[in-house]
């Protein structure tokens, strides 16, 4: 076999492959398939925050703002922009933590459960190091119960699937 006949066979194969590809594209267009939308839907469903996460985030926003307001009343310090900003950042961190745990639980439910419990214990420990008193204890108990209930809800959802 010489180079010229090999080139002709390769061109014939390329043309045949091109025709098959074009015919598949035309069939997909006729069926009105849009494969890119399927990939976007999968990404959105995988990385969406989820309704429970948003609800728990709002609850934590109210809870942290209330905690810092009561703390400022107790200590007779001023409740201002610094406390509001700190409470907002704390809420964002807790909500991101809940979303992260939710993603981990979807992948491996026991690892997600362990990380959720460990993260909750670490946050309560850090809070107790910074603040002490009845308001801190109440805030820690309520926050822990909320986080643990969220983790259990996500764990049960994955277990049912």
Write down the pLDDT at residue 2: 62
Write down the pLDDT at residue 111: 93
- For the question of whether the overall pTM of this predicted structure is more than 0.75, the answer is no
Kindly give the confidence (pLDDT) of every residue in the chain, 161 residues in length, as a single tens digit, with 9 standing for 90 and above: 565 565 555 555 556 666 677 677 677 666 765 555 555 455 445 545 577 788 888 999 999 899 888 888 888 888 888 888 988 999 999 999 999 999 999 999 899 999 999 999 999 999 899 888 888 899 999 999 999 999 999 999 998 87
Domain ranges of the chain: 3-33, 49-160
Write down the pLDDT at residue 43: 46
Contacts 24+ apart (CB under 8 A), 43-49: 47/103, 49/99
Q: Are 81 and 92 in contact (CB under 8 A)?
A: no
CB-hemisphere CA count at 13 Å for 129?
6
If you ran DSSP here, which 8-state letter would residue 79 be given? Answer: -
């Amino acid at each position: 076999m010489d180079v010229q006949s090999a080139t002709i066979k390769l061109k014939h194969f390329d043309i045949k492959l091109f025709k098959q590809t074009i015919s598949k594209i035309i069939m997909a267009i006729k069926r009105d398939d849009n494969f890119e939308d399927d990939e976007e839907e999968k990404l959105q469903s995988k990385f969406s925050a989820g309704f429970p996460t948003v609800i728990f985030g709002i609850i934590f926003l109210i809870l942290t703002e209330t905690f810092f307001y009561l703390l400022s009343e107790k200590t007779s310090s001023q409740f201002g922009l610094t406390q509001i900003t700190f409470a907002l950042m704390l809420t964002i961190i807790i909500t991101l933590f809940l979303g992260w745990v939710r993603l981990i639980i979807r992948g491996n439910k026991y690892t997600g459960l362990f990380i959720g419990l460990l993260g909750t214990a670490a946050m309560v420990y850090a809070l107790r190091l910074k603040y002490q008193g009845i308001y801190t204890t109440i805030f820690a108990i309520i926050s822990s119960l909320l986080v643990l209930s969220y983790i259990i809800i996500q764990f049960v959802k994955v277990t049912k699937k």
